[in-house]
């Protein structure tokens, strides 16, 4: 049940029908592939303590042509946005109504820089989840909170005592905000923080966790690093992704001239360095590179440079909304006709927001895809849909990693119930756990030692090779 409803109106010099025909881009920054029920959509809501408002990520649930659109969204919180059109003598009035529940109010309070309260808990273990509900990385984090809640539900059902509680933070794709949110989670009683964020944010979280004697766990793909007593980095590594994908990609396409495009922060730089070495080993050459800041405003010139380079392969390490806009630009300018792209952060949510047509033919390499047909994964997907419904974001490597990480840590806590970081790190190394992505065990470099899968995006999702 919503706590409040926020309302905004805009008068436009178009008929209601014309508004529907031209909705994309100009009205509340709406972005979608097609205006159809079930399609993913993003929308800028002009509230939330900032002049630019905030972006919701959801699906179109209902359309009455020329009259109304209902959108069910999952981030920054779960809720509903309604757009209603009323005819005017000189055009139409568009009214936006946004349901804001307690979680939404709390998010807005924190976004405005004010302290938020955490309900008292009489007993039990508090798990901290730091994910990305806003900023350029929010697209790839869709579903992570749902997956964490599913894991907590299952832990509580197994113990029949309801002893586990989840406290969620939003890094905003910003290391400074990540550090503040980590402090908040620790103050709320979390002794473990599972972080599904970019590497720059995790570095900030790790520093806070070390200072407070708390374990920080990076569950999603990352570049790795030196072992630490107060941190674990468990996700896929660029070397594993590239080792799995480059040989079949080059064999399938015949490509050997590669352009690398990515961001200016640590994970992207590390992935590019690994890619250069592996391409050289396979007789390929790098014909150009582009390193760009997060939220780069315009990818058209970048795509044009790639076209002029003569590249027949592209390796993208862009994340979130940047990857969405780069791939849409690549499709619009016809790059797909001359080059095949391997995207290292192309998950199910990102593919959906790029669009089925615009993403067709993109290659991806991850430790988990929702399309996996293993019995464990089929049961996992069914439980997820039963819990969160048909409109919830798809499962992906990002969200599944959060689910499996919580179960892994819970198993380790059986022998180390005090959650002392160094002891938990040692305990995790002894755990073997069957998960939706396969056997979870601690290898020489990472926990997710299961085989990295390669897939190609199609009209209906990923097709595993």
pLDDT digits (tens, 9 = 90+) for 357-408: 999 999 999 999 999 999 999 999 999 999 999 889 999 999 999 999 999 9
CA 79 to chain centre: 18
CA distances in angstroms from 38 to 33, 69, 159, 407, listed in the order given: 11, 12, 37, 31
End-to-end CA distance of the chain: 43
Where are the alpha helices (H) located in 112-174, listed in sequence order?
144-159
User: For residues 401 and 380, is the Cβ–Cβ distance under 8 A?
Assistant: no
Q: Given this model, what pLDDT does residue 443 score?
A: 58
User: Shortest CA distance to 83 belongs to which of 107, 100, 66?
Assistant: 66
* Contact residues for 88 (Cβ-Cβ < 8 A; gap 6+): 11
User: pLDDT exceeding 90 applies to what percent of the chain?
Assistant: 66
How far is residue 96's CA from residue 5's CA, in Å, rounded to a whole number?
A: 10
Answer with the residue of higher pLDDT: 95 or 227: 95
The residue behind tokens 């303590």 is 49
- The model's pTM: 0.93
Judge residue 335's burial from the number of C-beta atoms within 10 Å of its C-beta, 0-12 exposed, 13-18 middle, 19 or more buried. buried
What value, to the nearest 5°, has the Cα angle with vertex 140 and ends 134 and 45? 30
Q: Pick the closest to residue 139 from 108, 173, 99 (CA basis).
A: 173
Cα–Cα distance for residue pair 49/157, rounded to 1 Å: 38
Which is nearest to 394 in space by CA: 57, 54, 133? 57
Architecture per CATH, 4-108: 2-Layer Sandwich (3.30)
The residues that bridge with 306 in the sheet, in sequence order, are none
For residue 46, what pLDDT is reported? 83
- The 3-state DSSP class for residue 65 equals coil
Q: 18: which residues sit within 8 A by CB, 6+ positions away?
A: none
Q: Would you say residue 339 has pLDDT above 70?
A: yes
- Same CATH fold, 238-366 and 123-236+376-441? yes
232-to-54, 199, 367 alpha-carbon distances in Å: 32, 12, 17
Strand partners, 166: 127
The yes or no reply on domain 123-236+376-441 and CATH 3.40.50.2300 is yes
Is residue 24 within 8 Å of 11, Cβ to Cβ? no
Lowest mean pLDDT among 136-140, 177-181, 308-312, 446-450: 446-450
CATH topology of domain 238-366: Rossmann fold (3.40.50)
Determine the Cα–Cα distance for residues 91 and 70; give it in Å rounded to an integer. Answer: 21
Instruction: Give the pLDDT score at 123.
Output: 63
Please work out, in degrees rounded to the nearest 5, the angle formed at the alpha carbon of residue 105 by the alpha carbons of 102 and 111.
140
| pLDDT recorded at residue 429 | 83
- Helical H segments across 256-319, by residue range: 266-281, 300-309
4 within 8 A of 77, measured Cβ to Cβ: no
Structure tokens at 422: 């160094």
**Tokens matching residue 94:** 């568009």
| Adjacent-strand bridge partners of 454 | 365
Strands 68-75 and 285-292: unpaired
Which residues make beta-bridge pairs with 110?
none
Nearest-angstrom CA–CA distance, 128 and 166: 6
The pair of structure tokens assigned to 389 is: 């419904």
Domain range annotation of the chain:
4-108, 123-236+376-441, 238-366
Mean pLDDT along residues 324-337: 96
* CA–CA gap between residue 334 and residue 280 (Å, rounded): 27
pLDDT of 40 strictly over 80: yes
**Considering the chain, what percentage of its residues have pLDDT values greater than 70?**
94
* Higher pLDDT pick, 111 / 263: 263
């Amino acid at each position: 049940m919503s706590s409040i409803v926020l309302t905004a109106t805009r008068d436009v010099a178009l008929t209601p029908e014309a508004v529907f025909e031209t909705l994309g881009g100009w009205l509340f920054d709406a972005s979608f592939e097609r205006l159809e029920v079930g399609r993913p959509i993003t929308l800028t809501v002009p509230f939330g303590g900032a002049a630019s408002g905030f972006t919701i990520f959801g699906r179109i649930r209902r359309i009455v042509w020329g009259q109304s659109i209902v959108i069910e969204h999952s981030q920054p919180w779960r809720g509903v946005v309604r757009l209603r059109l009323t005819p005017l003598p000189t055009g139409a009035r568009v009214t936006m109504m946004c349901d804001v529940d307690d979680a939404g109010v709390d998010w807005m309070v924190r976004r405005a820089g004010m302290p938020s309260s955490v309900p008292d808990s009489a007993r039990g273990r508090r798990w901290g989840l730091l994910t990305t509900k806003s900023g350029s990385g929010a697209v790839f984090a869709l579903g992570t909170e749902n997956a964490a809640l599913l894991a907590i539900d299952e832990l509580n059902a197994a113990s029949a005592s309801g002893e586990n509680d989840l406290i969620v933070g939003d890094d905003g794709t910003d290391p400074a905000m990540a550090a503040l949110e980590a402090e908040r989670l620790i103050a709320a009683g979390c002794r473990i923080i599972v972080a599904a964020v970019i590497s720059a944010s995790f570095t900030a979280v790790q520093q806070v966790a070390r200072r407070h004697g708390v374990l920080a766990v990076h569950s999603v793909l990352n570049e790795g690093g030196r072992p630490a007593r107060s941190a674990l980095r468990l996700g896929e590594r660029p070397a594993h992704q590239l080792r799995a994908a480059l040989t079949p990609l080059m064999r399938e396409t015949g490509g050997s001239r590669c352009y690398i495009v990515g961001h200016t922060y640590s994970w992207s730089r590390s992935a590019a360095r690994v890619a250069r070495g592996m391409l050289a080993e396979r007789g390929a050459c790098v014909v150009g590179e582009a390193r760009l800041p997060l939220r780069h405003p315009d990818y058209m010139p970048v795509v044009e440079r790639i076209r002029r380079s003569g590249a027949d392969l592209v390796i993208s390490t862009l994340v979130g909304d940047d990857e969405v806009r780069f791939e849409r630009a690549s499709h619009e300018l016809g790059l797909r006709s001359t080059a095949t792209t391997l995207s290292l952060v192309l998950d199910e949510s990102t593919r959906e927001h790029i669009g089925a047509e615009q993403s067709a033919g993109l290659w991806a390499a991850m430790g988990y895809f929702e399309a996996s047909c293993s019995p464990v994964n089929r049961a996992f997907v069914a439980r997820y849909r039963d819990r969160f419904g048909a409109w919830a974001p798809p499962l992906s490597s990002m969200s599944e990693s959060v689910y499996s990480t919580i179960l892994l840590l819970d198993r380790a806590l059986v022998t180390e119930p005090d959650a002392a970081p160094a002891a938990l790190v040692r305990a995790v190394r002894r755990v073997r756990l069957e998960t939706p992505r396969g056997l979870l065990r601690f290898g020489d470099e990472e926990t997710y030692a299961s085989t990295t899968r390669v897939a190609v995006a199609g009209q209906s999702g990923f097709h595993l090779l």
